[in-house]
Amino acid sequence: MRNNHAEPAQCGFGARLIAAVTARGPLCVGIDPHPGLLEQWGLGDDVRGLERFALGAVEALAPEMALVKPQSAFFERHGSRGIAVLERVLVAARDAGALVLLDVKRGDIGSTMAAYAAAYLSDGAPLAADAITVSPYLGIGALDPAFDLAGQTGRGVFVLALTSNPEGAQVQAAVTGTGATVAQSVIDAVVARNAGRRPSGDVGVVVGATAPVGTVRLDALNGPILAPGIGAQGARLADLPQIFGAASRHVVASTSRDLLRHGPQPAALRHAARRIADQAGALLHPPTGQLGGGTPG
């Protein structure tokens, strides 16, 4: 099997994501080996069940989808053998043609953040992905090692900005000394980092589809918006143009459990994913002039 992670990217993540979305639709599919899903697929909650589930999902979905998002925690819970499965998942998904967003939500300071960046964003690293998720709540400047290394290796970073969980509002809706909310400050920092990048910046934001999106401004963002929460968390694809307005052109919808319930049969899983991706494309990338809604914020 060819290890794509050993090969440096030829162009930035933003440009590669646009190409993938254009070809395959604006959908990110989560690979979440949740114990309940393993049981639903008739698999045990062990490393063998984890591997069959994760690699089966990748085999069905990665040849069709633009972006595949393994949730690291569900692999980590099985220890070193689970991490070994995650390594195989990363390679298999890339070899099948998908971009891989590893959902790790790391966020630390100094040499520790640099080590996290090296683990996921450096060429040849066993856990290298096309992009990772990061948390900015030790200060977005603390994430500079990830931003810098991603820029050097042609990879991407998605920064948590406005999440759907109720607890998030305690921090994200707080007002800073500038008068902006913390969430808006994170978005503004990403806007500044992506300034001047064409066709798109390599730094994206995570904005939950069930979050209060109208409380932030996304119109200046020159980068991707990952919108989780489709399906099991209550958001509907049909609502995304109204929720994100003119920023919809940047949105990649994300779904995991609501899609994965269609397994374990590969054909059924692939058919469901293709249907959702086609619907997302029609809603988020309609012909010019047909996009509904206004600009959030």
Contacts of 26 by beta carbon, 8 Å cutoff, 6+ apart: 66, 251, 252, 253, 277, 280, 281, 284, 285
**Angle between the 266-284 and 47-61 helix axes, to the nearest 10 degrees?**
50
CB of 32 closer than 8 Å to CB of 257: yes
Q: In 3-state terms, what secondary structure has residue 255?
A: strand
3-state DSSP helix/strand/coil percent for the chain, to nearest 5?
Answer: 50, 15, 35
Residues 61, 266: Cα–Cα separation, whole Å: 8
Residues 183, 85: Cα–Cα separation, whole Å: 34
CB of 64 closer than 8 Å to CB of 274: yes
What are 67's strand-pairing partners? 28, 99
> Given 81, 105, 197, 217, which residue is catalytic?
105
Backbone angles phi, psi at 12, to 5 degrees: -65, 160
Residues 28, 131: Cα–Cα separation, whole Å: 12
Residues 77, 241: Cα–Cα separation, whole Å: 36
Task: State yes or no: is 105 an active-site residue.
Answer: yes
Q: Which among 93, 97, 100 has a CA at the least distance from the CA of 23?
A: 97
Provide the annotated active-site residues: 105
